Structure 1
Amino acid sequence: MGYILGYLFIFFARCLDVSMATTRTIMVVKGKKFTAATIGFFEIIIYVFAINKVLSGMNNIGNVLSYALGFATGNYLGVVIEEKMALGTLIVQIVTTKDVEKFSKYLRENGFGITVMEGHGKEGKIHILQSVLHRKDLNSFERYVNKYDESAFMTISDARTIRGGYFKNRIINKK
């Protein structure tokens, strides 16, 4: 019974500290220094206890396997947590062959700020619709885009900092 509890401790400690590492990394990238430092403090305490348990029983393959399985599971959980947190802002660009005036009006009517730019592609003149949005609103935005133009070409990139504009006060209709 003692071995099983040890394996479970190592597994869950490793899941937790790796998930925390993912969250801490996101906070570092987002510039949230204090939050990242706080998470890092607790993350390393958990890590030290887990690695101590493994190193004090290196002759027990179960400890090593529990550690490895906890690490792998922690990575998976970290990504799931990151997806649920959906922190940050995105810049989305859409190239469409549809009527750009109607498309931009449709997106604006559904709560998205849109800027229309003209460009030149292989086929000649094109229009690019650009929007800055909260990451948590991406799925909703994609549904609206796909509903209007399934063949639209869309690129999505992270925005580190935004200031002002229509984006700041926008409310998304959840349909």
Structure 2
Amino acid sequence: MGTFSGYLLIFFARIADVSMSTFRTLMVVQGRRVQAAIIGFFEIIIYVMALGKVVNGLSDPGNLLAYALGFACGNFVGITIEGKIALGNLFAQVILKGTQNEELLNKLREEGFGITVVEGYGKEGTRQILNIALNRKDLDSLKKIVYEHDEEAFITVNSTKPISGGYFVPIKKK
């Protein structure tokens, strides 16, 4: 194998294994044991292959450079792909001005969002607080709808793992 093709092998192997590592970590956090184990199996095979190539050629700084560049690009690629796939669930809390938000509530419910409305009181008076469980891939849609109604809405989001009950639409209607 030529020197340049060896660099490419190391580079692309690291992109693959680091991207897989990103997904495996997400699967572990979400409690998806089987998927994490399968991804981890292939991830480590690729990792050991790339590392072996570097260790066997330590006298060539190009191997180390390809390894490091592959690692950096793998992080970028893994995060980008994961963001597009958007696996998992979120819990959003939306704080709106005032209490006259029926139009927004109806629109969110029409789009398939399950909402629990709580009344709160802050520095500037009474507010409606919307508690919403949603799929991660629906976050942009939620933000768009909310900000069309209230540009100053305060939105916080946390990762969540539903245990039982509640209103969770597996596939959002379009």
TM range (shorter): over 0.9
1:1-175 to 2 correspondence within 5 Å? Answer: 2-98=2-98, 99-168=100-169, 172-174=172-174
Q: TM-score, normalised by structure 2?
A: 0.92
Structure 1 distance, partners of 2:156, 2:125, is 19
- Deviates most, 96-105 or 79-88: 96-105
Taking structure 1 as reference, are residues 109 and 161 closer, same or farther at Cα in structure 2, changes over 3 Å only?
Answer: closer
The letter of the residue matching 1:18 is V
1:146 to partner: Cα distance: 1.3
Structure 2 distance, partners of 1:70, 1:62, is 12
User: Tell me, which stretches of 5 or more residues in structure 1 are unaligned?
Assistant: none
Task: Indicate the RMSD between aligned Cα atoms, in angstroms.
Answer: 1.6
Identity of aligned residues (%): 54
1:11 to partner: Cα distance: 0.2
Taking structure 1 as reference, are residues 110 and 161 closer, same or farther at Cα in structure 2, changes over 3 Å only?
Answer: closer
Asked whether the equivalents of residues 97 and 126 of structure 2 are also in contact (C-alpha less than 8 Å), the reply is no
The letter of the residue matching 2:9 is F
Secondary structure at the aligned position of 1:46 is classed as helix
Q: TM-score, normalised by structure 1?
A: 0.92
User: Tell me, which stretches of 5 or more residues in structure 2 are unaligned?
Assistant: none
Deviations 1:91-119 (A, max 9, x none): 11111115233332232233221111012
Deviations 1:23-78 (A, max 9, x none): 10000001011111111111111111101100111111110100000000000011
Structure 2 distance, partners of 1:74, 1:21, is 9
Report the count of equivalent residues: 173
- Deviates most, 66-75 or 115-124: 115-124
